[in-house]
């Protein structure tokens, strides 16, 4: 605080104390205009004003909510001493007049447009009113974003203020000042886009992102050696402690470092202790783990092995027996035998004792791990090939650590969670969220070898009291049908991804289990999570208003550190984020490119932004709505026809809610070449009652344009699916084309 707004005997000790508690880094302060300006910042804690003033080279006058004056005598004193302008709905006109007067005198006035402290850690709905202030005063609006205070005792992380363990070291905070926006152009949509971009920049400079993934994991495990990290239900139930994981991974890493000359090692194992140890052991050996999709075609696997230069694969003899047609390389090793060759129980036991005795900072040195990983490759995943041939997605240490830190900043996966892991490790969510995140954060994982075993999943959730489950709609449907309410009573959060959540499945979860499915959004290229709904935060004080963490039908708000743009699909020019456009993303979790494929890499980016291929929009509260995929449009008679919109309309008109527990997608619309109009729409369906005449009648009666009505209906036994739970677009188009 500066003497202009507070007496020196108040401002000086507060400034001194704040500098002891916070290490503030200010970026682009030169963007601040010399005259009056309206500053608009995100709001994460009670000490935001102090940190922002420390970062600003000029004095700031703050605007605070009038309800704080009634909440505590302390705020009344602070408001009076600092000249803070109180604002509320009842005195909005008077507060606006005072703000305009201060701006007219050339002051910097700061408003938190969210209206209150965010209780989710994300940018909430931006209240109106700042536009009028800026235009009346004729001053620019300057967006400003600060990162680092979420998680402090003065924030609402952990669903509580103050009463949590304080940080022992000074908190690093980054404040990024944005480019001034002229008052005529300042609105909530433009401000949100600017805050997201500034947030991505603030998040990206955190030194934690430059560290080495394996070094961070072994340090974390050595900190809690006795904690049960993983319950493996691949075979007989087995509990594995942090020390056990660390010991087995260390022994394996030494053996692989000696016996494998190549830089990448393939892994084909189901979720469980073996796959976790294999991934950590490979990374600790200085190699790159490549979890291969064993559900895809042999030609795709051969291509993946060739592109990645993989000559060594870790698997299990049981897996090898099941995958008889798999193109196994000559150096294919059984995991158990390899672990025995690494020294067996005696060697592992010595590492186990070391896990209890050695301080955790020694472990990276003991295993020869560098302190920095940064943009170096930490994992390689191949895309599922839902719309073409697989591509090698290179994920760096920065990408994975960044995404784990982003997820950790939300309330959806606390360290107290018991997470059911059944997604395959070649699935990007399985790789990052069910392998690396729990090792770093410390939440317990219970593994089931396949998402296609609903009865086993139900038993596991009931017996292990799982609180969090992540699943694609394809995998969740049979479980929700088979389970009784008492089976899932421990489940607090069910996260859905990979495909759009069908409304009938969401309704089933609500009615049968009183459980709201949290839909999220991500891609392999974003490590994978980009946005997610989360439970609504509790109302913690008498003056606080309810805040939303979720909005059914949306894919949630962007994770902290993620920036988004919406582009016109034809011109690639940015459009307002509240209108539908092609979703482009930027953030520390966004990959740098495809392995040995510069052409596809170049096509995936536009001016540094990753092009997702999905169409979407943001609502006023910041929730992202995915409205289709560019590859799922047909150009018919010069008009872009969305396949997904037709499917949703038919499901509604024909009441096509799934009539079987294993039927997630009863219909699928695609296009085939047509000489007259460029493309013709084809409807694939598992329902015999759907005829060309019926769907034409239904859609025409509902006012659907004639161009949007499929000309051909084809009955199929099942809509083709991938092992990740997504529709196999390539196979579905082949079915439609084989008429």
According to the model, what pLDDT value does residue 684 have?
A: 84
What mean pLDDT do residues 74-93 have?
68
In this predicted model, what pLDDT tens digit does every residue of 364-405 receive, in sequence order?
A: 999 999 999 999 999 999 986 444 568 899 999 999 999 999
d(C-alpha 264, C-alpha 269), whole Å: 16
According to the model, what pLDDT value does residue 544 have?
A: 63
- Which among 296, 291, 312, 498 is positioned nearest to 380, based on CA atoms? 291
According to the model, what pLDDT value does residue 411 have?
A: 81
Confidence of residue 444 (pLDDT cuts 50, 70, 90): very high
In this predicted model, what pLDDT tens digit does every residue of 145-195 receive, in sequence order?
A: 999 888 887 788 776 666 666 666 788 899 999 999 999 999 999 999 999
pLDDT at 52 over 60: yes
Phi-psi region of 280 (alpha: psi -120 to 50; beta: other; left: phi over 0): alpha
Bigger pLDDT: 666 or 374?
374
According to the model, what pLDDT value does residue 343 have?
A: 83
For 213-532+550-616, CATH number?
A: 3.40.50.12780
According to the model, what pLDDT value does residue 631 have?
A: 63
**Residues whose CB is less than 8 angstroms from the CB of residue 259 and which lie 6 or more positions away in sequence, other chains included:** 341
pLDDT at 414 over 60: yes
Percent of the chain residues past pLDDT 70, beyond the cut: 88
Confidence of residue 90 (pLDDT cuts 50, 70, 90): low
Percent of the chain residues past pLDDT 90, beyond the cut: 50
d(C-alpha 562, C-alpha 576), whole Å: 17
- Which among 374, 397, 23, 25 is positioned nearest to 201, based on CA atoms? 25
**Both tokens of residue 401?**
């650590």
According to the model, what pLDDT value does residue 724 have?
A: 65
* DSSP 8-state secondary structure symbol assigned to residue 436: I
d(C-alpha 213, C-alpha 376), whole Å: 10
**Burial bucket for residue 503 (CB in 10 Å: 0-12, 13-18, 19+):** middle
Instruction: Please give the helix or strand (H or E) that residue 62 lies within, else none.
Output: strand 60-65
**Phi (first) and psi of residue 559, to 5 degrees:** -65, 150
Between β-strands 85-87 and 60-65, what pairing exists: parallel, antiparallel or unpaired?
parallel
Characterize 235-258 residue by residue with b for buried, 16 or more Cβ atoms within 10 angstroms of its Cβ, and e for exposed: eeeeebbbbbbbbbbbbbbbbbbe
In this predicted model, what pLDDT tens digit does every residue of 524-576 receive, in sequence order?
A: 999 999 999 998 888 766 556 788 889 998 999 999 999 999 998 878 899 99
In this predicted model, what pLDDT tens digit does every residue of 269-305 receive, in sequence order?
A: 999 999 999 999 999 999 999 999 888 778 888 889 9
d(C-alpha 553, C-alpha 626), whole Å: 9
- If DSSP codes are grouped into helix, strand and coil, which group holds residue 583? strand
What is the CB neighbour count within 10 angstroms for residue 306?
A: 10
What is the CB neighbour count within 10 angstroms for residue 456?
A: 15
pLDDT at 658 over 70: no
- If DSSP codes are grouped into helix, strand and coil, which group holds residue 404? helix
According to the model, what pLDDT value does residue 659 have?
A: 56
In this predicted model, what pLDDT tens digit does every residue of 192-235 receive, in sequence order?
A: 999 999 999 999 999 899 999 999 999 999 999 999 999 999 88
In this predicted model, what pLDDT tens digit does every residue of 254-269 receive, in sequence order?
A: 999 999 999 999 999 9
What are residue 25's DSSP bridge partners?
174
According to the model, what pLDDT value does residue 710 have?
A: 82
According to the model, what pLDDT value does residue 380 have?
A: 97
For the chain, first and last CA: distance in Å? Answer: 74
d(C-alpha 482, C-alpha 662), whole Å: 11
**Residues whose CB is less than 8 angstroms from the CB of residue 12 and which lie 6 or more positions away in sequence, other chains included:** none
What mean pLDDT do residues 639-646 have?
73
What is the CB neighbour count within 10 angstroms for residue 596?
A: 14
- Which among 244, 284, 292 is positioned nearest to 266, based on CA atoms? 292
- If DSSP codes are grouped into helix, strand and coil, which group holds residue 716? coil
Place of tokens 């997201």: 196
According to the model, what pLDDT value does residue 656 have?
A: 73
Confidence of residue 665 (pLDDT cuts 50, 70, 90): confident
Phi-psi region of 628 (alpha: psi -120 to 50; beta: other; left: phi over 0): left
What is the CB neighbour count within 10 angstroms for residue 170?
A: 12
d(C-alpha 426, C-alpha 381), whole Å: 7
Where are the chain's structural domains?
8-205, 213-532+550-616, 637-737
pLDDT at 678 over 70: no
According to the model, what pLDDT value does residue 2 have?
A: 41
What are residue 521's DSSP bridge partners?
531
pLDDT at 486 over 80: yes
In this predicted model, what pLDDT tens digit does every residue of 598-637 receive, in sequence order?
A: 988 998 999 999 999 888 999 999 999 988 776 666 766 5
In this predicted model, what pLDDT tens digit does every residue of 238-255 receive, in sequence order?
A: 999 999 999 999 999 999
* DSSP 8-state secondary structure symbol assigned to residue 724: T
- SS3 string, 454-489, reads HHHHHHHHHHHCCCEEEECHHHHHHHHHHCCHHHHC
According to the model, what pLDDT value does residue 387 have?
A: 46
Q: Which of 433-437, 502-506, 523-527, 632-636 has the lowest mean pLDDT?
A: 632-636
Characterize 16-35 residue by residue with b for buried, 16 or more Cβ atoms within 10 angstroms of its Cβ, and e for exposed: eebeebbebbbbeeebbeee
**Both tokens of residue 553?**
């039908």
For 637-737, CATH number?
A: 3.30.300.30
According to the model, what pLDDT value does residue 81 have?
A: 60
pLDDT at 330 over 60: yes
pLDDT at 679 over 80: no
Q: What's the chain's average pLDDT?
A: 86
């Amino acid at each position: 605080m500066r003497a202009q707004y507070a007496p020196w005997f108040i401002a000086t000790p507060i400034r001194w104390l704040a500098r002891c508690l916070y290490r503030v880094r200010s970026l682009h302060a030169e963007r601040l205009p010399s005259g009056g300006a309206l500053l608009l910042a995100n709001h994460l804690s009670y000490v935001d004003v102090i940190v922002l003033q420390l970062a600003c080279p000029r004095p700031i006058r703050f605007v605070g909510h009038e309800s704080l004056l009634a909440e505590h005598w302390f705020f009344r004193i602070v408001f009076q001493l600092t000249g803070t302008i109180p604002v509320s709905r009842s005195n909005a006109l008077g507060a606006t007049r005072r703000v305009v007067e201060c701006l007219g005198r050339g002051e910097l006035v700061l408003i938190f447009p969210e209206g209150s402290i965010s209780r989710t850690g994300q940018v909430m709905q931006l209240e109106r009113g700042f536009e009028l202030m800026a235009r009346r005063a004729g001053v620019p609006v300057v967006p400003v974003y600060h990162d680092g205070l979420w998680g402090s005792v003065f924030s609402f992380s952990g669903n509580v203020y103050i009463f949590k363990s304080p940080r022992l070291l000074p908190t690093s905070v980054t404040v990024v000042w944005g480019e001034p926006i002229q008052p005529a152009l300042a609105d909530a949509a433009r401000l949100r886009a600017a805050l997201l971009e500034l947030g991505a920049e603030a998040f990206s400079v955190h030194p934690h992102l430059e560290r080495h993934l394996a070094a961070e994991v072994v340090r974390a495990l050595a900190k809690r050696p006795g904690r049960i990290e993983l319950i493996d239900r691949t075979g007989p139930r087995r509990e594995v402690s942090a020390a056990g994981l660390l010991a087995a991974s260390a022994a394996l890493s030494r053996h692989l470092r000696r016996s494998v000359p190549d830089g990448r090692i393939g892994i084909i194992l189901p979720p469980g202790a073996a796959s976790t140890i294999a991934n950590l052991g490979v990374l600790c050996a200085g190699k790159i783990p490549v979890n291969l999709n064993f559900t895809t075609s042999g030609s795709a696997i051969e291509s993946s092995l060739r592109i990645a230069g993989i000559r060594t694969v870790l698997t299990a003899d049981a897996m090898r027996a099941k995958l008889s047609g798999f193109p196994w390389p000559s150096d294919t090793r059984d995991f158990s035998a390899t672990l025995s060759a690494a020294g067996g129980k005696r060697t592992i036991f010595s590492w186990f004792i070391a896990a209890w005795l050695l301080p955790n900072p020694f472990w990276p040195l003991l295993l020869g791990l560098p302190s920095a990983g940064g943009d170096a490759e930490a994992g390689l995943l191949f895309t599922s090939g839902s719309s073409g041939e697989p591509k090698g997605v290179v994920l760096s240490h920065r990408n994975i650590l960044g995404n784990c830190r982003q997820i950790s900043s939300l309330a959806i996966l606390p360290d107290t969670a018991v997470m059911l892991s059944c997604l395959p490790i070649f699935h990007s969510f399985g790789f990052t969220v069910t392998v690396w995140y729990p090792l770093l954060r410390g939440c317990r994982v219970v593994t089931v070898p396949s998402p296609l075993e609903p009865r086993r999943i139900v038993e596991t959730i009931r017996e292990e009291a799982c609180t969090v489950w992540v699943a694609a709609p394809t995998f969740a449907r049979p479980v929700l049908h088979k389970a009784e309410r008492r089976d899932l009573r421990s489940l607090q959060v069910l996260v859905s991804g990979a495909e759009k959540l069908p409304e009938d499945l969401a309704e089933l979860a609500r009615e049968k289990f009183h459980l709201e499915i949290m839909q999220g959004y991500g891609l392999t290229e974003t490590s994978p999570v980009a946005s997610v709904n989360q439970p609504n935060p509790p109302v913690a004080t008498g003056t606080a208003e309810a805040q939303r963490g979720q909005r059914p039908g949306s894919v949630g708000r962007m994770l902290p550190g993620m920036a988004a743009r919406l582009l016109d699909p034809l011109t690639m020019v940015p459009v307002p984020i509240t209108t539908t456009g092609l979703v482009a993303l930027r953030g520390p979790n966004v990959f740098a490119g495809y392995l040995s494929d510069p052409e596809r890499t170049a096509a995936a980016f536009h001016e540094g932004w990753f092009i997702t291929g999905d169409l979407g929009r943001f609502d006023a509260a910041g929730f992202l709505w995915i409205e289709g995929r560019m590859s799922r449009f047909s150009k018919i008679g010069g008009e872009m026809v969305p396949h997904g919109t037709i499917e949703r309309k038919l499901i509604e008109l024909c009441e096509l809610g799934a009539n079987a527990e294993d039927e997630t997608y009863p219909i699928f619309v695609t296009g085939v070449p047509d000489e007259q109009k460029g493309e013709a729409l084809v409807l694939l369906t598992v329902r015999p009652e759907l005829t060309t005449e019926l769907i034409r009648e239904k859609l025409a009666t509902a006012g659907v344009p004639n161009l949007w009505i499929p000309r051909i209906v084809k009955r199929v036994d099942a809509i083709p699916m991938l092992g990740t739970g997504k529709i196999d677009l390539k196979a579905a188009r082949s079915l439609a084309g084989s008429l």
